[in-house]
Amino acid sequence: MKYNELKRLAAMGGAASAFLLGSALPTLAQDAAPTLDTGDTAWMLTSTAIVLMMTIPGLALFYGGLVRKKNVLSVLMQCFAACCLLTIIWMVCGYSLAFTEGPYNAYVGGLDKFLLNGMGKESLSGTIPESVFMMFQMTFFIITPALIVGSLVDRMKFSAFLLFMGLWSIVVYAPVCHWVWGGGFLAGDGVLDFAGGTVVHINAGIAGLVACIVLGRRKGYGTDNMAPHNLTLSVIGASLLWVGWFGFNAGSAVGANASAGMAMAVTQIATAAAALAWMFSEWLVHGKPSVLGVISGAVAGLVAITPAAGFVDPKGALVIGVAAGVGCYIMSTGVKKMLGYDDSLDVFGVHGVGGIIGAILTGVFAVESIGGTAGLLEGNFAQVPIQIYGVLATVVWSAVATFVILMLLKLIIGLRVSESSEVEGLDVSLHGESVQ
Amino acid sequence: MKLITAIIKPFKLEEVRTALTDLGLQGMTVTEVKGYGRQKGHTEIYRGAEYAVSFLPKIKMEIVVPTAQVDKALEAIQRAAKTGQIGDGKIFVSPIEHTVRIRTGESDDNAL
């Protein structure tokens, strides 16, 4: 919500200073424009750094530990290279498409800030330098496509992977980000998404599901032993994700303020609740509480609290966490097995499902005195349908666009490595390296 | 001379080594191996996916001893490696024709 206000301000500022197009200081043209706040800026600089840490090394290690040893470097490489590629794309056009006004503003931004044109040293975005806001948002732009890596592992050509990351970030992420945070139609319709339940997690989760279906199962799926090669790496990765997520959620308050504090508190509570919920579910069903279970549950909780972080209180967070832990456990184990798709590292089961649970429950548990909007429990019956509408819009766009991009790439260059490369392992066959 | 090949539980290696050293036996070769006997394997479950792990990690220890010391060595290994639980391992004994110490050229019992 803070975003919406902020971007509305920026948009008004932009309109008022249309005659100054190309000026380094578009938002300062407005009299009421806020001034730089050093506390806010310090927190956002910190948040930006730790959200980057979520992808490298957090997500890279989390995923890297879950694959077989012959593919660990290929996963680290996918995360690291995606980080670099997406940085450049964000600089060239991503930021502009997400956060400027465009001719079709309900759906996508414009190209006014192509190559970050007009972002000077003194440019402000709310109370922080625009450079910091741009960087903070860049780390989201990086982690979202990188999340999809989990459903592509062990079998995708690196060239196809890079093209997919690039195209997906522009065609899917930038518009959806604009819909919710850049002044597009979902924000206008009142969809609540504090830190990226729709934009980041449902978006990546659905893309992961579509991608693993288009790509096909790993060779030997269901018969070969595909057990994680090193859960220690995954525990380190999940823990880095958890810590980094404070930047993600509390940073999404775009300031060092009360909203950030509450976002941090509910993030911690929901995460712990989800981790325990998954652990106990598994203990009950399979007889043993597993390490992979408890860290998967934690990630599911982090995902589910993301849209809700600035809107719910600790009690709401507790319920959201438990729901995410149990829901994602069921989807990532039973349902996946039943339907037979090879969402290798459960991008859909954790991020897609957790995102949907969180987005909808935000409409249930939103507290007016915390985020300015009341939820179902406070008598606002309209919010849950609005949240579902936001979920559906994201699901449809992500699914359709992901499918089209992948089919195009499949036709033009092919998506999968050869069977012999897959058997040999991508580390050696694609990168000429290996972990001994 | 006899070659004693013992398959033992990995955590028993140090006890077995000490027991053999106490007999005055010098030198051994140790390999990390995987295998199964009556113990069979176990299953592992990762997010609901079950994998049968048939081969368990073991230590294969090879030591060549003078024929006169074989019985004592076997007894020492057995005593040190035994837990009484299934999966304690096995010992194989086979004849060795000839031994040479590379550095000095000594042979057979003198080379052990």
Stated length of chain B: 112
| pLDDT at residue B38, as a whole number | 85
Given a contact cutoff of 8 angstroms between Cβ atoms, the answer to whether A342 and A217 are in contact is yes
Whole-angstrom CA distances from A176 to A83, A130, B97 are: 19, 21, 77
Q: How confident is the model at residue B39 (pLDDT cuts 50, 70, 90)?
A: confident
Closest CA to A405 of A206, A159, A210: A210
pLDDT band at A331 (very low <50, low <70, confident <90, very high): very high
Q: Residue B36 is encoded by which pair of tokens? A: 């199964």
* Helix locations, A255-352, DSSP H: 258-286, 291-305, 314-330, 336-339
CB neighbour list of residue A310: distance below 8 Å, 6 or more residues apart: A1, A2, A194, A195, A249, A252, A253, A259, A262, A263, A370, A371
What is the model's pLDDT at position A22?
42
pLDDT at A423: 96
Find out whether A150 and A347 touch, Cβ atoms under 8 Å.
yes
Residues of B in contact with A292 (CB under 8 A): 46-47
Say which of B47, B51, B52 has its CB closest to residue A333. Answer: B47
Q: pLDDT at position A32, please?
A: 67
Distances (CA, A) of A78 to A28, A347, B29, B79: 40, 15, 41, 52
Distance CA B72, CA B74 (A): 5
A341-364 pLDDT tens trace: 999 999 999 999 999 999 999 999
What's the one-letter identity of residue A206? I
Which pLDDT tens digit goes with each residue over A30-57? 456 689 999 999 999 999 999 999 999 9
Check residue A33 and report its DSSP letter. P
Nearest to B41 by CA among A296, A344, A227, A278: A227
Alpha carbons A425 and A431: distance in angstroms, whole number: 10
- Per DSSP, chain A holds a count of helices (H) and strands (E) of 20, 2
Task: Give start and end residues of each alpha helix (H) in B47-112.
Answer: 70-81
Band of pLDDT at residue B40, cut at 50, 70 and 90: confident
Write out the E strands in chain B.
2-8, 29-35, 42-46, 49-53, 56-65, 89-95
Picking from A218, A160, A205, A165, the residue whose alpha carbon sits closest to that of residue A408 is A160
Q: In terms of CA atoms, which chain B residue is nearest residue A225?
A: B51
**Cα dist. B93→A107, B49, B56, B69, B70 in Å?**
78, 41, 22, 12, 9
Q: What angle do CA A282, A286, A292 make, to 5 degrees?
A: 50
Q: Given an 8 Å threshold on Cβ–Cβ distance, is B51 in contact with A227?
A: yes
Query: Quick one: which H or E segment has residue A128?
Result: strand A128-129
- Give the one of A225, A288, A334 whose C-beta lies nearest to B51's C-beta: A225
Which tokens go with A132?
């910091």
Copy the structure tokens of residue A326.
């149990």
Report the run of H or E that residue A124 belongs to, with start and end: strand A124-125
pLDDT at B37: 87
CB burial of residue A121 (10 Å; 0-12, 13-18, 19+): exposed
Dihedral sign (CA A84, A87, A91, A94): positive
- Closest approach of A391 to chain B, Cα-based (Å): 26
- 3 state DSSP class of A290: coil
A389-432 pLDDT, tens per residue? 999 999 999 999 999 999 999 999 999 999 999 999 999 999 99
CA-to-CA distance for B81 and B6, rounded, in angstroms? 10
Q: Is the dihedral of CA A245, A250, A253, A256 positive or negative?
A: negative
Looking at the predicted complex, does its ipTM rise above 0.90? no
> For residues A148 and A164, what is the distance between their CA atoms, to the nearest angstrom?
10
Query: Which residue of chain B has the CA closest to A294?
Result: B47
The token duo for A297 is 């549950």
The secondary structure of A129-147 as a DSSP string is EHHHHHHHHHHHHHHHHHH
Name the CATH code of domain B2-111 (choices 3.40.50.300, 3.30.70.120, 3.30.470.30, 3.40.228.10).
Answer: 3.30.70.120
B46 touches chain A (CB under 8 A): yes
Contacts of A337 in chain B (CB under 8 A): 48-49
Distance in Å, alpha carbon of B56 to nearest chain A alpha carbon: 14
pLDDT tens sequence across A74-102: 999 999 999 999 999 999 999 999 999 99
Q: Is A414 left (phi over 0), alpha (psi -120 to 50) or beta?
A: left
Q: Per the CB < 8 Å rule, is B45 touching A290? A: yes
For each of the domains in chain A, give its residue range(s) and CATH number, in order of start.
2-16+40-422 (1.10.3430.10)
Predicted confidence (pLDDT) per residue in A292-317, tens digit: 999 999 999 999 999 999 999 999 99
Contact A332 B47 (CB under 8 A): yes
Q: Give per-residue burial for A85-110: e unless 16+ CB within 10 Å, then b.
A: bbbebbbebbbbbbbbbbeebeebbb
| pLDDT at residue A20 in the model | 41
